[in-house]
Structure 1
Amino acid sequence: MNRVYDGIMGLVVGDALGVPVEFCERDTFCVADMIGGGTHGLPAGTWSDDGSLALATLESLGRRRRIDLRDIMDNFVRWYARNEFTPYHSVFDIGNTTRKAIGLYMQGVGVESCGGRSIADNGNGSLMRILPLAFVPHTDEDVAAVSALTHAHPISTGACEEYVRIAELLLAGGGPEEAARLYDDEYDIRKKPRADVRSGGYVLDTLDAAVWCFATTSSYRECVLKAVNLGGDTDTTAAVAGGLAGIYYGSSGGRGIPQEWQAQIARGEWIAELCEADFFNGAAR
């Protein structure tokens, strides 16, 4: 069993499920399977910047065998400027804060100074790519530093730290109930009405929606479809939720990531190869 593959493929599949209906208003559509077309007019199984930046982070960790901030940022440049780490050699989606940070780095600004630090820089662009940190030795400060490559405000870095802690809990054998308790031990998020779950681009809304979807469902399929059908930033909500569900339910079996969805993912074999790096062996298998 490869827990890295479970989590990363869970993220990528969730991303791809949400891409066709990204920005669509809640309850104006219903996604029940992997589809193409829609918002971006792309084939079924196409993942977005969420998957690309998560995979760029994963590739650096596996190759460098450590958290190398400059190398991760170099990979982001390879994605943004050279279309690497993409499903079809084309970047079709990027957040403003991420674009600005990568642009500053390309101009020679140090990695510690590129990320947005204002209250307006709290989109979900670092949360969507932070999952690979759960599979390697790290501290909270490491997670914050990787977030801060693009999103350096404490709200964003704190959300990333919290998400990685939940992923670690699942890797250690915890489940949805424990995840909900770790997320908020004063309020049971499972009791939150759907109408109160926000699914836009604000990082805390995305984290909240993802945990809610994971904690209120009982299979990978149910979790990510619930996330997509919240509307709004569908690909990121489903990617963040899908990473958790992938770790917990796995990539096989009746409740795991459906095989037919995995088969439709662009560059699936390459993604699987990235997850096999020796550096991940001790932490996540």
Structure 2
Amino acid sequence: MDDSAVGVLLGLACGDALGRPVEFQQSASIQQRHGPVMDMLANGTHGQPAGTITDDTEMALCVARSLADSGHFDPVDVADRFVEWYRSDPFDIGLLTSTVLRRLRDGDPWDEAGIDEWKHLPEGSNAGNGSVMRCAPYGIAFAGESDALVTASRASSVITHADPRCQWGCVILNGTLAGLLTGTDQPLASALDLAENGPAELQSACEAVQAIVEGSESPADLELANSGYVVTTLQAGLYHGLTAESAEGAIVDAVMLGGDTDTIAAVAGAVAGARFGASELPDRWLQAIDETAEIRELGQQLDTMEISLPESVVEKLSSGQFDLQA
């Protein structure tokens, strides 16, 4: 499983870095200016060097480092690492993430700040993809442990993105990754079983992808969106990650969808990395990303470590504290 586990994190980083320079551009504009984006580009959106990762990978690294350093899921430590990263003045950070991390920096508890912000947000700005983009380390750490995977995925999402679509979106992505890593015949179907209590809109979007994977529906029937909404991001990322013929193809096609390119491609890359393994990711991409060596080491650690889940986190989830209504 080692190559596939490492592939999850490196695939995420490759998708993030490949999509970063064309983020917010539409598909036709990207095609006209660059053709298929096959190589890491410099400048572009955010004006960074080729191979630069964004908040997607940086926050996933916060999660992975916390798991690897502590040997268990510690939401307080994860939140602290997010705040430390926030203090570094990142060039790319979502509005909700920034607002919540500011509150955490000022002393609000990890399990209250995100929920409180969510309660005051209008529909349309309350269910972004800012937690699903970073959650993949849990899919490695808790592969084969479905209850722990669900708990960690939901609790970690709540730190900044408490909306149930975000919580259960993380469960579906991590369940799919875990299924791929453990050789489950239908990893997305198994993940949907884990999220059977999740929002109907999220279930429907992912079931549409599953129907294509099974061959019962045609890809032409699926209209993919490229927004930062967690439901459409997850649908597009899963589709490209699960149906492409190569890891490179999955990531390139996700970038060419346009819109929120770095996050859609990061999700697709994590899934494709689990399917095909790190060895199938282009060397030219990996060489362009400064963090490749650390990401590889973290993937190996999470694959081999016994990661535990504190009873206090299980109790918070069991109490219904995170059972919000979209």
Q: Same fold (TM over 0.5)?
A: yes
Inter-partner Cα distance in structure 2 for 1:82 and 1:184: 39
**What stretches of structure 1 of length at least 5 have no aligned partner?**
84-90
Q: TM-score when scaled to structure 2?
A: 0.78
**How many pairs align?**
271
Distance 1:66 1:232, change over 3 A: same
Secondary structure in 2 matching 1:188:
helix
Kindly indicate whether residue 46 of structure 2 is the aligned counterpart of residue 47 of structure 1: no
Secondary structure in 1 matching 2:87:
helix
Structure showing the higher helix proportion among its residues: 2
Kindly indicate whether residue 81 of structure 2 is the aligned counterpart of residue 105 of structure 1: no
Inter-partner Cα distance in structure 2 for 1:110 and 1:40: 31
Kindly indicate whether residue 146 of structure 2 is the aligned counterpart of residue 147 of structure 1: no
CA displacement, residues 167-223 of structure 1 (integer Å, 9 cap, x when unaligned): 111011147xx3454542796245233871001100000000011112331100000
1:4 positional shift = 3.1
Q: TM-score when scaled to structure 1?
A: 0.89
CA displacement, residues 246-268 of structure 1 (integer Å, 9 cap, x when unaligned): 1110111xxx1111211111232
Distance 1:228 1:5, change over 3 A: same
Structure with larger Rg: 2
Kindly indicate whether residue 290 of structure 2 is the aligned counterpart of residue 260 of structure 1: no
Secondary structure in 2 matching 1:151:
coil
CA displacement, residues 217-276 of structure 1 (integer Å, 9 cap, x when unaligned): 110000000000000000000001100101110111xxx111121111123223233334
CA displacement, residues 43-72 of structure 1 (integer Å, 9 cap, x when unaligned): 111010000000010000000100000100
Structure 1 equivalent of residue 14 of structure 2: 13
1:131 positional shift = 0.4
Report if the CA contact (8 A) 1:181-1:188 is conserved. no
1:128 positional shift = 0.2
Inter-partner Cα distance in structure 1 for 2:290 and 2:131: 22
**What stretches of structure 2 of length at least 5 have no aligned partner?**
143-147, 191-205, 308-326
Inter-partner Cα distance in structure 2 for 1:161 and 1:192: 24
Alignment identity in percent? Answer: 34
C-alpha RMSD of matched pairs (Å): 2.1
249, 265, 268: which one aligns with 1:222: 249
Equivalence map 1:69-218=2 (5 Å): 69-82=75-88, 91-115=90-114, 116-118=117-119, 119=123, 120-137=125-142, 138-174=148-184, 178-179=186-187, 181-182=189-190, 183-184=206-207, 188-189=211-212, 191-193=218-220, 196-218=223-245
- Greater alpha carbon shift after TM alignment, 102-111 vs 31-40: 31-40
Inter-partner Cα distance in structure 2 for 1:147 and 1:17: 25
Inter-partner Cα distance in structure 2 for 1:61 and 1:194: 40
